[in-house]
Amino acid sequence: MISLHFLDLTLFQTLIEILATLAFGLSGLLEAARKKLDAVGVVVVAGLAAFGGGTMRDILLDRRPFFWMQHATWLWGLLALCVLAMFFMRARHFELTERAMLWPDAIGLGLFSASGTQIALSMHMPEIVAVLMGVITAVVGGVLRDIVCNEIPRAFKDHSPYAVCAFIGTWVMVLAPQLGMSDNLSLILSATLVTLLRALSLLLGFQLPEWNTTRQKSE
Amino acid sequence: MISLHFLDLTLFQTLIEILATLAFGLSGLLEAARKKLDAVGVVVVAGLAAFGGGTMRDILLDRRPFFWMQHATWLWGLLALCVLAMFFMRARHFELTERAMLWPDAIGLGLFSASGTQIALSMHMPEIVAVLMGVITAVVGGVLRDIVCNEIPRAFKDHSPYAVCAFIGTWVMVLAPQLGMSDNLSLILSATLVTLLRALSLLLGFQLPEWNTTRQKSE
Amino acid sequence: MISLHFLDLTLFQTLIEILATLAFGLSGLLEAARKKLDAVGVVVVAGLAAFGGGTMRDILLDRRPFFWMQHATWLWGLLALCVLAMFFMRARHFELTERAMLWPDAIGLGLFSASGTQIALSMHMPEIVAVLMGVITAVVGGVLRDIVCNEIPRAFKDHSPYAVCAFIGTWVMVLAPQLGMSDNLSLILSATLVTLLRALSLLLGFQLPEWNTTRQKSE
């Protein structure tokens, strides 16, 4: 995931961001552990989940250097996270961690999709492309995590709105500056909206439509 | 897939091209529906199938902007296609659609492989690389579609010649200009040959060789 | 995989390199055959295994042209290898080939990880990024091979140290030049260390740690 380092980051913002990247990385770590990958697999899948989305966005936008190349400390941080987790985390902690991570993950979804959209807009991409880049920033990490673990990506299958929240909320990042709002304010509004939509989806159990082939077959 | 927008497109050509991209997108849409993906998954897999091949070719050739970034209307078209399909398409339409799409798909195979080869040639790639780029343009969309749906790509497993038709026919795009033919004529010849080869493969039931490990084991 | 063409290659070095790329390609060929892919699938998976790692590194480093674009003869070589193998290799040869390939594969692991690290260093990447690029050069080909064949990548699951050997040994490539050693000597030392570590892992049956969830559940 991309840092919001182009903003004048206060300590508070930095903390949120670290927490969000941690949530993304931990989601990879837990899936790798469940699939009984070895230590290398755990590190790789955690890294893909944490940095895969921002990297994919930067490849598509032809933007270099990647966040993790410029701030290589994050790679050490990821390694440390994995080593610590392998030493201290027990199977009985898994479900607990996963539930505790839902909220930082929702914050990450908002933060990374809004900032991804802003980056694409600053490169003069068409609006729908900018929104798509925001969604990719926030979602592709989890998609790569699931593909490497030989699963159909959760974001495409579990019917809980996730990418859709990012798709809706990042339009604020596109439209608000056209109404005269500052970029920073738009970013905060957009990220908050995405996070709220995700939180509501989780709390109220929203479900995405699926192709109801069963009912239709029995017609 | 890439548009042939560098040609002076007549209405007829544009229609063929839209039909071919539609066929690629629908193949993704149907596979996503069969795998019971949710609405997000349906859109993503349809998009990968439609635009994945041309995007992969452009990443490998370091060519920007991508077709769908430059002509963002296509992204809206894809969204509209998916919404319409989810509203109106029933399970009993699936097989019918798949069979009806075989011919636009064969045309797409020809069109996109020939134009992918032409693009690589115009960037002075070696002949075998240009042919490979043509094949990638036409085939990688379906490969990504199958990987995301957690299947071994159909193009590598179903023994019906597909990539091979593109591999053979795009050599016309490489060799005809060396015999003095114009680029446009070469493109049309090459695309037609690929499509014909694919059509013949389907009509006559050609089969690619497989490693006959069973027979060999009993030696 | 990348050629060491920037060194003044002696015949001996070239032979080693060809042998190593062959080993990588054959690993793809064998997995494709076992999965009963058709001829197209065999060629593609062999190609991904042989060239995928170096290509991924070059995409991440934004480095062009790719090795196989510049030296297109290797693509013909790969095609020839696959055709020959399909004609002459029998199922009873598979296991034998796989065991015989373990040693060239270990040499390839050393050679390609050390040279990948050197390339990243020459582009002034941070040390941990350079090491990561070395590991990616050597390992990603096999990872893509396994993903296309719908398997969890062996490098992440089989607990035999592989990526770890590259991760450790390529630090020599990073540190030795800082101690005043020439780049070429560092490369040879680093590649040798990686290969030795891999050989020792195989001979002594080293195992990477796994998350022992079973034991922990019974606590």
DSSP character string of A55-115:
HHHHHHHT--S-HHHHSTHHHHHHHHHHHHHHHH--HHHHHHHHHHHHHHHHHHHHHHHHH
* Percentage of chain B lying above the pLDDT 90 cut: 67
Residues of A in contact with B78 (CB under 8 A): none
**Per-residue CA distances from B66 to B54, B70, B76, B139, B148 (Å):** 8, 6, 16, 17, 21
Among B116, B142, B112, which Cα is nearest to B48's? B142
Mean pLDDT of B181-187: 91
The residue-averaged pLDDT of A164-175 equals: 97
Collapse the DSSP code of B184 into the 3-class scheme (helix H, G, I; strand E, B; otherwise coil) and give the result: helix
Cβ–Cβ contact A83 with C under 8 A: no
The pTM (predicted TM-score) of the whole model is 0.91
Q: Which of C44, C64, C72 lies nearest to residue B62, judging by beta carbons?
A: C64
CB B177 within 8 A of CB B94: no
**If you search the block for the tokens 């957009």, which residue do you land on?**
A190
Rounded alpha-carbon distances, angstroms, from residue B41 to A59, A163, B35, B46, B138: 22, 10, 10, 8, 22
A162/B40 Cβ within 8 A: yes
pLDDT for B24 equals: 92
- Chain A CB contacts of B76 under 8 Å are 128
Subunits close to B (at least 3 CB pairs below 8 A): A, C
pLDDT digits (tens, 9 = 90+) for B124-141: 999 999 999 999 999 999
Say which of B55, B86, B91 has its CB closest to residue A217. B91
Using 50, 70 and 90 to split pLDDT, how confident is the model at B174?
Answer: very high
Q: Where does the pLDDT of residue B215 fall: very low under 50, low under 70, confident under 90, or very high at 90 and above?
A: very low
Residue B162 DSSP label: S
DSSP letter, residue A5: T
Q: What's the confidence (pLDDT) of residue A87? A: 84
Distance, in Å, from the CA atom of B189 to the CA atom of B185, rounded to the nearest integer, reads 6
CA gap C121, C127 in Å, rounded: 7
* pLDDT at residue C218 greater than cutoff 60: no
Using the Cβ of B40 and the Cβ atoms of chain A, whether some distance falls under 8 Å is answered with yes
C165-205 residue pLDDT tens: 999 999 999 999 999 999 889 999 999 999 999 999 999 99
Q: Residue B98 has which token pair?
A: 């798949």
Looking up tokens 């994995």 gives: A82
pLDDT, residue A181, reads 93
Per-residue model confidence as pLDDT tens digits over A109-130: 999 999 999 999 999 999 999 9
The pLDDT value given to residue C15: 76
Nearest CA-CA partner of B20 in B201, B205, B195: B195
- Closest by Cα among C212, C152, C157, C205 to A40: C157
Is residue A212 very low, low, confident or very high in pLDDT (cuts 50, 70, 90)? Answer: low
**Rounded average pLDDT over A76-81:** 94
Give the tokens for residue A135: 């969604």
Say yes or no: C213 contacts chain A, CB-CB below 8 A: yes
**Shortest CA distance to B192 belongs to which of B152, B159, B165?**
B165
Cross-chain residue pair B66–A60, CB shorter than 8 Å: yes
User: Choosing among B26, B35, B37, which should be mutated to test the A contact, i.e. which has the most A CBs within 10 A?
Assistant: B37
All residues at 6 or more sequence positions from A198 whose CB lies less than 8 Å from its CB, including other chains: A106, A109, A110, A161, A162, A165
A153 at interface of B, judged by CB pairs closer than 8 A? yes
Predicted interface score ipTM higher than 0.85: yes
Query: What pLDDT is stored for residue B219 in this prediction?
Result: 35
B6 has pLDDT over 80: no
Q: Which of A150, A164, A213 sits opposite B33 (nearest CB)?
A: A213
CA gap C212, C219 in Å, rounded: 11
User: What pLDDT, on the 0 to 100 scale, is given for residue B212?
Assistant: 61
Name the residue type at position C185: L
